[in-house]
């Protein structure tokens, strides 16, 4: 018997069966998918959940990638994907999905359980430059990404050094400085003894 994937959708089982398994406590819902109750919450699981939104292999990016890398508590309402410049792709007419064409090198995305996603460094780089995202949101997400990755700041700064001419560069670097400060303050605060018992 073939093993079911870690994340199930209506292509795998009928909706009624998925709902019944959830009621029986065998599955839980996560975004638009269902997963076994004992499935660990890993980046590969989250990537598979986001990938359910599209029927073709795309690269998860920006806020969706931030959720995959634990920079957000829940997936964004609109899943964000990208393809490298020059890729030919048909338009997807779905308000729950955005796709953009970007300049992307092979070392700026990783594969998680067969699903491609931008690296934490590329994800942070994109979110720091995102003009439509408020400063506080961009900084908060990047602070969370930095918290568990000591070398990430250097990787992000290296990416900015490679892209000298870009819109919103000064604003993006200011956001990065604020996120680094917040991450440092959070890590320093976590080493303090508790004042309450």
Task: Decide: pTM greater than 0.85.
Answer: yes
Instruction: State how far the Cα of 26 lies from the Cα of 111, in Å rounded to an integer.
Output: 28
The pLDDT value given to residue 173? 95
Grouping H, G, I as helix, E, B as strand and the rest as coil, residue 169 is helix
In degrees and rounded to multiples of 5, residue 130 shows phi and psi of -70, 105
Instruction: State how far the Cα of 66 lies from the Cα of 72, in Å rounded to an integer.
Output: 6
Vertex 75, ends 35 and 91: CA angle to 5°? 100
Helices 135-147, 152-162: crossing angle, 10 deg rounding: 130
* Contact yes or no for 80/65 (Cβ under 8 A): yes
* Contact yes or no for 127/141 (Cβ under 8 A): yes
The pLDDT value given to residue 142? 97
Mean pLDDT per block of 10 residues along the chain (197 residues) reads: 75 90 91 89 93 88 97 94 81 81 91 95 96 95 93 94 86 95 81 42
- Give the other-Cβ count within 10 Å of 93's Cβ: 6
């Amino acid at each position: 018997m073939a093993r079911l994937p870690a994340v199930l959708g209506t292509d795998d089982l009928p909706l009624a069966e998925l709902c019944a398994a959830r009621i029986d406590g065998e599955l839980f819902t996560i975004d638009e998918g269902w997963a076994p109750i004992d499935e660990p919450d890993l980046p590969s699981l989250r990537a598979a959940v986001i990938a359910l939104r599209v029927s073709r292999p795309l690269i998860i990016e920006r806020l969706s990638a931030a959720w995959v890398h634990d920079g957000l508590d829940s997936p964004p309402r609109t899943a964000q994907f990208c393809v490298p410049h020059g890729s030919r792709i048909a338009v997807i007419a779905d308000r729950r999905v955005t796709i953009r064409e970007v300049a992307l090198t092979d070392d700026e995305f990783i594969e998680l359980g067969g699903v491609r996603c931008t690296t934490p460094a590329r994800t942070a780089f994109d979110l720091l430059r995102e003009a439509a995202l408020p400063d506080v949101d961009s900084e908060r997400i990047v602070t969370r990404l930095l918290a568990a990755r000591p070398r990430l700041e250097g990787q992000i700064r290296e990416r900015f050094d490679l892209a000298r001419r870009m819109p919103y560069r000064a604003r993006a670097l200011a956001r990065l400085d604020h996120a680094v400060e917040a991450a440092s303050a959070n890590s320093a605060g976590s080493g303090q003894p508790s004042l309450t018992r």
